[in-house]
Amino acid sequence: MSTAKLPVVLVMAGHDPTGGAGLIADSEAIAACGGWAVTVPTSLTVQTTHNVLKVMPCPADAIRDMAWSLLDEFEVKAIKLGLIADVTTLETIEDIVRACPGIPLVVDPVFKAGGGATLSTDALIDEFCRRLLPLVDILTPNRQELARLAANSAPDDVERVVSLMSLGCQAVLVTATDEPMPGTPEDEVVHTLHTPETSRQWRWPRLPGHYHGSGCTLSAALAARLAVGERLVNACEQAQRFTWESLRHGWQPGNGQRLPRRWI
C-alpha cells in the first residue's frame, strides 16, 4: 500500500452531468496533474453538450457543512472555485475562503455556458468583484469574461487586467480560445499571464471544433500544480499543455460540443 501523501485541492463548483465541465472535470484534471480533489457542489445543473438548461444552487448551509468537514480532516494545499450561481452562495464561499489564509485560490469565473446560456447577473458579478476578487491569487477568465468583469470600462485587455488587479486580484491568466486577440493568426491561440511584476505569453495551435469544459480543465490543472508546489509561471505552462492535450484527444458524443479527455 502506498504511503505517498497527495496534495489536496478543495474544489467548490457546479455539477455538470455530462462530465465535460464542473466537479467531474475538476476532479479528473486534478488527479491527472498529481493532486487529490475534495469536492463541494455549489449548484446542480441540467445540461447537455449543447447548452445549460437549468441551474439549481445548493443550500448555503450544506455548502458550508461540507467544506468545514473537509477542511477539518484534509490538509488543503489549494482551492479552486467554479460556478457561483447566486449571492448567497458567494457569501458562503467568501466565509470559507477567508478561513483559509495562505492557501492559493484559483478562480474560473463561470458567467456563460459554451452553448450561450447566461449563468450570472450583473449584480452577482459586481458582488464577486467587491467581495471575492480581493482574495483571489489567480483568475483564469477568457477574453469575454475579462471584459465583463471589468465592465467594459477599459479599451483593451491590459487595462482591464489592471483594473481587476487594482481591486486586489494577484494575477490573471487570460485565455483567448473564445475570442482571438487582435493580430493573432487564425490558426493560433494566445494565452497571457499578468502579474504585478511581469507578463508572459504562450502560443498554441488552434484546434478545430467547439469544446465544453476547457476553462474548468485549465483552472483545475493549475490549482493542482500550485498544490504540488510549482511556481506560478511553470504551473500555468503545465496546466495549458495538459489542457491542450485533453482537448486534442477530446471526443464528441453527439452533435454538440466536444468533451476533453483528461486521462490521456
**210 lies in some domain:** yes
pLDDT-based confidence at residue 229 (cuts at 50, 70, 90): very high
For position 184, what pLDDT does the model report?
86
The CA distances from residue 32 to 106, 147, 245, 264, in Å, are 17, 31, 12, 9
**253 lies in some domain:** no
Model-level pTM?
A: 0.94
For position 259, what pLDDT does the model report?
96
For position 192, what pLDDT does the model report?
96
**173 lies in some domain:** yes
**258 lies in some domain:** no
Strand partners, 14: 43
Average pLDDT over the chain reads 92
* Entry field: residues in the chain: 264
**119, pLDDT greater than 80:** no
Q: What percent of the chain has pLDDT over 90?
A: 78
The stretch 46-66 carries a mean pLDDT of 94
Strand partners, 192: 174, 201
**Domain containing 140: what range?**
8-248
Give the three cell numbers for residue 197.
Answer: 511584476
pLDDT digits (tens, 9 = 90+) for 138-188: 999 999 899 889 876 667 899 999 999 999 999 999 999 888 888 889 899
Q: What CATH number does residue 231 fall under?
A: 3.40.1190.20
Count of structural domains, the chain: 1
**263 lies in some domain:** no
**129 lies in some domain:** yes
Give residues with Cβ within 8 angstroms of 59, minimum separation 6: none
For position 223, what pLDDT does the model report?
98
Nearest Cα neighbor of 210 from 260, 162, 161 is 260
The number of angstroms, rounded, from the C-alpha of 103 to the middle of its chain's C-alpha atoms is: 16
For position 151, what pLDDT does the model report?
77
Question: Which of 97-111, 179-193, 229-243 is predicted least confidently?
Answer: 179-193
**2 lies in some domain:** no
For position 73, what pLDDT does the model report?
97
